[in-house]
Amino acid sequence: MDEPRNPALPGVEAALGGATAPHDATSVLEAARLVLERDMTLALRRRGQLVQPLAFFAIVTMLFPLAISPELARLREVAAGVLWVAALLASLLALEFLFRDDAYDGTLEQYALSGQPLTGLMFAKTAAHWLLTGLPLALMAPLAALSLGAPSESLPGIVASVAVGTVALSLIGSIGAALTLGIRRSGVLLALLTLPLSLPVLIFGARASELAIHGESYVAPLELLAALAVLGITLAPLASAAAVRISLE
């Protein structure tokens, strides 16, 4: 086809040609995959930040048996609630870092100017956040549940509820994290913004876990959790992209 005139700048011709995109332009999916890969790589290089919410979750769920009673029958009554409050606060703990570093070093600015839909990139960032906090929390939940006296038959239900519920929590949280970007020491404000919106997740999540512990069907609350997660997937990236654009002004 047409050879570039200037070998030092390959592709210039295509880009200068006007409305047509260069033939090697990155698609939205590729860009989103790169954002995901970059966030995962970074998190694995800074393990301290990664471990913090998990350690918090483990400590809180371990303290309850000491404070209430070592009697498993009594612990079992509060297990679902304890588990879910700890999971909610742990996922909130990690939220502050979701966009903060990218805002400071100008990465968000480059994302906003990349010509890629910012909504897709925000979705990728939130997905990375869930893989790094929500999923590990779901995998740790069985240990915590057992130490709170939950029977082993209830574990699949508990893992499922935490896994699905944290998807919704990450997405709701991403809106709050994006809205508080311009504010220094935004932690408290972020919690105030995010917690009320997270309450449905807490209620249905705890209910699903409780039903699982009592050996009853937990499908109904789990479906409601899934509905919340789908709602979040549809709307939250749009909202956080808009909030990020405002923060760049």
Partner 1 sequence: MPNEGLEIENLHLWRGERHVLRGVGFSVPRGGCLHVAGPNGSGKTSLLRTACGLLHPESGRLRWDGRDVYEDLPAFHSALIYIGHEAPLKADLSARENLRYWVGMRRRAGRGALESALQRVGAGAWSERPARTLSAGQRRRIALAALSLLVAPLWLLDEPTTNLDAEGQQLVGTLIEEHLAGGGLVLAATHHELPLPASRVQRLELTHG
Which residues contact partner 1 (rule: CB under 8 A)?
A: 5-6, 8-12, 14-16, 18-19, 21-22, 24-26, 30-31, 34-35, 37-38, 41-42, 45-46, 101, 105-107, 109-117, 248-249
* Least Cβ distance, residue 177 to partner 1 (angstroms): 18
- Please say whether the beta carbons of 158 and 150 come within 8 A: yes
Dihedral (Cα; 221, 224, 229, 231), 10-degree rounding: -170
* Least Cβ distance, residue 239 to partner 1 (angstroms): 18
DSSP state of 106: T
Element (H, E) at 218: none
Helix axis angle, 97-104 to 72-95, nearest 10°: 20
* Least Cβ distance, residue 248 to partner 1 (angstroms): 5
Nearer to partner 1, 2 or 70 (CB): 2
3-state secondary structure at position 2: coil
Residues 6 or more apart in contact with residue 115 via CB below 8 angstroms: none
Nearer to partner 1, 117 or 142 (CB): 117
* Least Cβ distance, residue 31 to partner 1 (angstroms): 5
Nearer to partner 1, 107 or 147 (CB): 107
Nearer to partner 1, 25 or 78 (CB): 25
